[in-house]
Structure formats: structure tokens, C-alpha cells
């Protein structure tokens, strides 16, 4: 029903206002213009270049691109669905897909004939709704790896080869925990693995904090839950039951947040989503290492005076290394004022013509193999080794890749999990308390 859609969107807008403020303005749509929104400023020049190529192939059509910061982006987009000021095309995130598909604000794209084999494995399939229709075309992908300060690692006696060969388990942390302890230094110069280490007065943490991870833990605990064999839901896509009550999940979370109790990982109190994310801790020399996504490669490489390198995620109890492989998409809004032009633009965005151009900018890994290769070559020209991010996609024997949980009511799941995970991390609340939260989440999914 239309009333249900507006009510649900209004609720989503209320949630999104927590992280950003809507900006004024209209889409500026016309019969000859396709409006396109994205949030990553680093990617803006690449897509401006794609727009020039598109306009050359489609005389009379113009692409108007708007870039907004992450928080403002989702707030303004949600408000636009209500007010009718949404763009024709926008960069979509898998975390938002379930809600947008359920609210029927996305245009089906079945006629574009998107073939899974034309893209990196799994990227195309993720954008099929429960009704069997496609609502997004593959855009790019990212994985997670361990960024670390090369000088700090050398001072700790750790080589790049060692950091690329780490393993872990929830009982004693394995060689990964030993390495993080070794990288940790207190105010007296004692390392985390040395007698007399003062965990209450740490100068350099072995591992930066990136917060509690909320419901997905992409750049926090997901490499560990993934390599322990845990799955977010009962099905890979459109699951109907979350599994935060799993003993496997809770044992991993207890161990992971326990690194902060030991003084090896920065405490939750050191985290500030606006100004003190893991990358700023590494840049400031307050942390030796941090798990982060491929979209941050250029950011870490740009830290002046820091020899930042990257290593694979550690192997877990299953014997495999694991990383979330997130893939963005381009979606057309149901109320687009220029659907014909929007379809042409989305099809162009998903083609090698555009994706190779984007890859050549070396800021993201495009979804097509050709685009990915162009990006790898561009990073190499910059002197950057990105194999820690690309190996998991190429080697399915030793690596496990998995997606964000794709379900309905994702915003509600996040809203319920955020305070609970923060309480476990920051206040020492027992991980068993997640049993009740999991029950609440599954009640919502059963509606």
C-alpha cells in the first residue's frame, strides 16, 4: 500500500537523521538530463570521465552528477523518495537494498540482460530481489585486509611475510594475537608480550578500534566470524533468521573484544565515528595496525611519514582466511523522471567502457574483470601492492568471501544490534545477552 510505503520511508528517514542532515535542492531533472548521485568524493572524477564518454555516444543526453557525504547521502535520498526529489540513478548499497526493494522504490532492470559471468563472482546475483527481479547493476567491489605501519612492525621484529601468514582461534588468539600483542607498546616502552606491560597506560595499540561493528562488523570482527565458519543468517540471501545467538559467533565476539581488555586493541571509548576512526589512529601513530576496506587504500597510502603496508586477514579455525566482499550497484528509482535515459546510463555504467575508465583512476575495484585489472595496474603505477585485497577473490581454495547479510528490515536489525554490541565492547556486557537481541530481530523478520 502507498500509505505503508510512505510510513516506512518516514521511519527510515528518522533513523538516517541520526547520522546526517538533509541538504536542500532539487534533482534538476529534465527530458535531456539523467541525474546521478554517489557518495565517494574520490570516485567523482572517474565518473565524470564516464559521463563524458556516455554523452559522446548519446548526443542530446546529459548526465548531472551530485556527490554527497555518506550521512547526508542516505538522508537526502530517503527524503527524496518521500518528496519526489530523488535522482534518476543512484549508487546503491547492499545494506540498504532489502528495505528499498521491499518499499518498491526501485525500478526493475531485467531488460538490461545483465550476465553474472561478465562480473566478479556473486556481484550480479546479490541484486536480485525476493520477487526474482533485478534492481541493481554491478558497479564495484571491495574486500577487507590488515593495514599496518611497516616501521612499527620492523621495530617489533615482525616481517611482512610473518604478518601475511597469521592464524587465529578464539581460545588463545593464535599467532595473530601474539603479533598484535607484540605491536602494542605502553608508556614505559614495554610491549604487550613482555613482563611488566601496563595495559592501562598504552601508548601504541597493536590494533586500532573501528567501533563495535553494529550488525555486520565489516571492518571489525567479520574476518574472524567468517573464518570461523559462521553465517549471519540461515540463507546466503534473503535469510529469515539471524544467528547472533550462535555459540560460534559469541565465542568469536568475546575473544575479539577481549583484545581491548588485554590492552592490545584500543578501547571503545577511543572510537569516534566522525573523527577517530581506525585510519586516523594509524595516521597519528596511536595504533600499529587496522582492519579496513579496499576503498581506503589511497587514504592509508597518503599518510605522510608513515610506511603503510597491507597483509591478508588471518586464517581461522576452518583453515581458511575470510573477508566480506561487498559489491555496490547502480539502481534506477521507480519515480525517475527520465527512465529511458536512466536505463542507457546504467547500462553504460555496468559496461567495460566505463568500468575500465574507473579502474584506471586507481581508487576502487570495478565489477568487471577488465575493470579490476585496470585498477590493479593503476595501483601498481602508484607503487601500491593491493594483493591482500585481490587474492581472496582469485583464490577460493584458501579464502572465503561472503556478502553483507541481505534481508528485509536491515535498518531495524542495525538499530537493535548497535547498542547491544557497544555494550558488549564498551561496558563488558555478557555476549550471551545477544540471545535476546537475536530473538527480537527474528520476531521482526517473521512479520
Domains of the chain: 2-141+328-386 (3.40.190.10), 144-324+409-445 (3.40.190.10)
Please report the pLDDT score of residue 30 as a whole number: 64
Contact yes or no for 364/357 (Cβ under 8 A):
no
- Phi, psi for residue 65 in degrees, rounded to 5: -100, 135
The reported pLDDT for the residue numbered 28 is: 44
Average pLDDT over residues 122-129: 96
Confidence of residue 102 (pLDDT cuts 50, 70, 90): confident
As a whole number of angstroms, the distance between CA 356 and CA 341 comes to 22
Whose grid coordinates read 601496563? Answer: 198
Distance of CA 368 to CAs 3, 354, 371, 372, 423, Å?
39, 10, 5, 6, 41
To the nearest whole percent, how much of the chain has pLDDT over 90? 89
Q: How far apart are CA 185 and CA 178, in angstroms?
A: 13
Please say if the pLDDT value at position 342 is more than 90: yes
Pick from 12-16, 41-45, 367-371, 429-433: least confident:
12-16
CA–CA gap between residue 438 and residue 341 (Å, rounded): 43
pLDDT in tens, 280-291: 999 999 999 999
Q: How far is CA 129 from the centre of its chain?
A: 20
pLDDT digits (tens, 9 = 90+) for 68-89: 999 999 999 999 999 999 999 9
Calpha distance 300→298 (Å, rounded): 6
Which set of grid coordinates corresponds to residue 370? Answer: 577488465
* Spatial distance between the Cα atoms of 87 and 36, rounded to a whole number of angstroms: 6
Residue among 72, 70, 68, 66 at smallest CA distance from 89: 66
> How would residue 25 be classed by pLDDT, with cut points 50, 70 and 90?
very low
The residue with greater pLDDT, 335 or 17, is 335
Cell output for 252: 568469536
Helices (H) and strands (E) in the chain, counts: 17, 13
Provide the phi-psi class of 145: left if phi over 0, else alpha when psi is between -120 and 50, else beta. Answer: beta
pLDDT at 434 over 70: yes
Amino acid at each position: 500500500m502507498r500509505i505503508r510505503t510512505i510510513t516506512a520511508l518516514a521511519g527510515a528517514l528518522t533513523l538516517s537523521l541520526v547520522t546526517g542532515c538533509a541538504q536542500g535542492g532539487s534533482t534538476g531533472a529534465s527530458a535531456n538530463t539523467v541525474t546521478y548521485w554517489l557518495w565517494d568524493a574520490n570516485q567523482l572524477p572517474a565518473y565524470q570521465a564516464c559521463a563524458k564518454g556516455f554523452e559522446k555516444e548519446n548526443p542530446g543526453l546529459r548526465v548531472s552528477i551530485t556527490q554527497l557525504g555518506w550521512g547526508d547521502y542516505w538522508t537526502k535520498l530517503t527524503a527524496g523518495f518521500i518528496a519526489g526529489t530523488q535522482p534518476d540513478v543512484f549508487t546503491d548499497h547492499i545494506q540498504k537494498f532489502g528495505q528499498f526493494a521491499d518499499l518498491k522504490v526501485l525500478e526493475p532492470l531485467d531488460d538490461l540482460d545483465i550476465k553474472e559471468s561478465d562480473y566478479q563472482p556473486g556481484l550480479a546475483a546479490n541484486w536480485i530481489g525476493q520477487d526474482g527481479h533485478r534492481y541493481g547493476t554491478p558497479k564495484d567491489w571491495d574486500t577487507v585486509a590488515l593495514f599496518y605501519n611497516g616501521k612499527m612492525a620492523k621495530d617489533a621484529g615482525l616481517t611482512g611475510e610473518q604478518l601475511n601468514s597469521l592464524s587465529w582461534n578464539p581460545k588463545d588468539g593464535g599467532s595473530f594475537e601474539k603479533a598484535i600483542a607484540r605491536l602494542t607498546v605502553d608508556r614505559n616502552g614495554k610491549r604487550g608480550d613482555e613482563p611488566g606491560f601496563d595495559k592501562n597506560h598504552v601508548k601504541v595499540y597493536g590494533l586500532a578500534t573501528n567501533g563495535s561493528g553494529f550488525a555486520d562488523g565489516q571492518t571489525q570482527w567479520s574476518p574472524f566470524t567468517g573464518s570461523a565458519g559462521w553465517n549471519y543468517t540461515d540463507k546466503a540471501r534473503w535469510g529469515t533468521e539471524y544467528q547472533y545467538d550462535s555459540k560460534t559467533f559469541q565465542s568469536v565476539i568475546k575473544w575479539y573484544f577481549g583484545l581491548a581488555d588485554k590492552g592490545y586493541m584500543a578501547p571503545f571509548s577511543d572510537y569516534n565515528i566522525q573523527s577517530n576512526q581506525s585510519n586516523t589512529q594509524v595516521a597519528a601513530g596511536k595504533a600499529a595496525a587496522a582492519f579496513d576496506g579496499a576503498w581506503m587504500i589511497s587514504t592509508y597510502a597518503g599518510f605522510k611519514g608513515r610506511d603503510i603496508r597491507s597483509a591478508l586477514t588471518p586464517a581461522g579455525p576452518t583453515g581458511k582466511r575470510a573477508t566480506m566482499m561487498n559489491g555496490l550497484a547502480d539502481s534506477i528509482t521507480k519515480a525517475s523522471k527520465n527512465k529511458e535515459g536512466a536505463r542507457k546510463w546504467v547500462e553504460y555504467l555496468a559496461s567495460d567502457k566505463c568500468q575500465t575508465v574507473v579502474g584506471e583512476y586507481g581508487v576502487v575495484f570495478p565489477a568487471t574483470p577488465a575493470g579490476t585489472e585496470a585498477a590493479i595496474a593503476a595501483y601498481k603505477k602508484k607503487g601500491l601492492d593491493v594483493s591482500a585485497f585481490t587474492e581472496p577473490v582469485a583464490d577460493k581454495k584458501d579464502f572465503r568471501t561472503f556478502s553483507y547479510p541481505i534481508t528485509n528490515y536491515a535498518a531495524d536489525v542495525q538499530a537493535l544490534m548497535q547498542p547491544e554490541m557497544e555494550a558488549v565492547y564498551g561496558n563488558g556486557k555478557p555476549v550471551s545477552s545477544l540471545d535476546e537481541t537475536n530473538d527480537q530481530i527474528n520476531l521482526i523478520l517473521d512479520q
